[in-house]
Structure 1
């Protein structure tokens, strides 16, 4: 294969990868970790979530906790999806089955006590607007509505550096446990002090009332 053919082949694969990456990152007119193409909606945060079937269970929890007005105030809501809540209920079910020695017992939404549920949801809500444009690769600490420390930052993706010299940057949320972990974190860092970081799958939805980000599906509701 001559040099021209080699160059053409590499360029073709590069264009294909860019195209596939563009298609994979686009979700409901928003980019994974990037600036959305249509970041504004005339809906409130609550109504925006209610219109999306991926948040049916989350809406039930918000209603049960009586937090609709809070969600619709001037806040940043980092929303867990129904997948996150389903995983949480599965974890609680396994623990309950062990505790009661009954493999048929189930932990359901109705099992959640209102005070615990309210605090769990408030942990995802931050006063004011936290947007991608204000963030960098350095962690910035914010207090949530139950006065816990969380860090927002941008993170570089891996695997595309040969094509995207600047890399693709995603937005991440970290639950801070006993202070921010050192970077890099030593292998022998105490397990109980390790922060929990998740990438946001959708970012920067500017609703009629506030800002909405969405956690990736493998996150377990309330950081379990």
Structure 2
């Protein structure tokens, strides 16, 4: 059942990404008039293998009712949780090589309050996000900028050595329209860093607690009975930055990825 639901979600997200009309949705190989799933946001997160552990964390944080409200969830995923655990374990092992493994059960109630950073008021997806984006305040007070941006290539595409994607790898060579990508920009310090140049100019770059983080989505624009779901993927930079997956709560630094 989980695999079937996941297939439906991927199909929905793919079709939305590629700019089909509302009447053109294909779900499970059949034409449908809507892309809305007949389940709550919590049920959706619980049934996707990429987010089932995240649903558990929302519930432990006492936020199940909140995410089933009139909201948008920008959900971390299992890779976000795994990176968090790897960093915590590596920090512990440096201090004590015989330290017991840290699991999700060891995430404290204080940390779980930070799950509010992934909950945004209102329903924001491709058809409701303004052309110039929208700044929102997440449930925990974090400021977030959500935008829909046309992109002609994937960060994993071959590049020409000068910061431009190789012509043969651009979407316009394969598609009638260049697709929109949903981006989420987390403000982490006193100031917004709107460009990659501004972020890279900070000392220690991504590891600087003042450095904003910007992500594209793994899947996006999933409409549930109550809200909208996007699932975080990675930083939208270039192929050399694929190591940069979100760490739950922005925990740790890149040095913590290794012992």
Q: State the TM-score, normalized to the length of structure 1.
A: 0.76
For residues 56 and 160 of structure 1, the distance between their equivalents in structure 2, rounded to whole angstroms, comes to 32
- Alignment partner of 1:108 is 2:103: yes
Does the C-alpha gap of structure 1 residues 53 and 186 become closer, same or farther in structure 2, counting only changes over 3 Å? closer
For residues 89 and 131 of structure 2, the distance between their equivalents in structure 1, rounded to whole angstroms, comes to 38
Task: Give the number of the structure whose alpha-carbon radius of gyration is greater.
Answer: 1
Which residue number in structure 1 is paired with residue 30 of structure 2? none
CA contact (8 A) 1:32 1:202 kept: no
Which residue number in structure 1 is paired with residue 44 of structure 2? 48
Match of 2:59 among 55, 58, 63: 63
For residues 67 and 51 of structure 1, the distance between their equivalents in structure 2, rounded to whole angstroms, comes to 17
CA contact (8 A) 1:30 1:39 kept: no
TM superposition shift of 1:79: 1.1
SS, match of residue 50 in structure 2? helix
Which residue number in structure 2 is paired with residue 13 of structure 1? none
Residue ranges of structure 2 left out of the alignment (5+ in a row): 1-8, 26-33, 154-169, 235-244, 252-259
For residues 138 and 220 of structure 1, the distance between their equivalents in structure 2, rounded to whole angstroms, comes to 27
TM superposition shift of 1:125: 0.2
Residue ranges of structure 1 left out of the alignment (5+ in a row): 1-25
SS, match of residue 200 in structure 1? strand
Does the C-alpha gap of structure 1 residues 181 and 42 become closer, same or farther in structure 2, counting only changes over 3 Å? same
Matches within 5 A, 1:13-92: 27-31=10-14, 34=17, 37=25, 39-92=35-88
CA contact (8 A) 2:199 2:212 kept: no
Match of 1:140 among 116, 120, 134: 134
- Alignment partner of 1:171 is 2:143: no
Which residue number in structure 1 is paired with residue 230 of structure 2? 213
Does the C-alpha gap of structure 1 residues 30 and 66 become closer, same or farther in structure 2, counting only changes over 3 Å? same
Which residue number in structure 2 is paired with residue 17 of structure 1? none
TM superposition shift of 1:183: 3.8
Deviations 1:138-158 (A, max 9, x none): 342111001111111123242
Does the C-alpha gap of structure 1 residues 135 and 61 become closer, same or farther in structure 2, counting only changes over 3 Å? same
Deviations 1:102-129 (A, max 9, x none): 2442221121111211x22111001111
TM-align CA RMSD? 2.6
CA contact (8 A) 2:199 2:211 kept: no
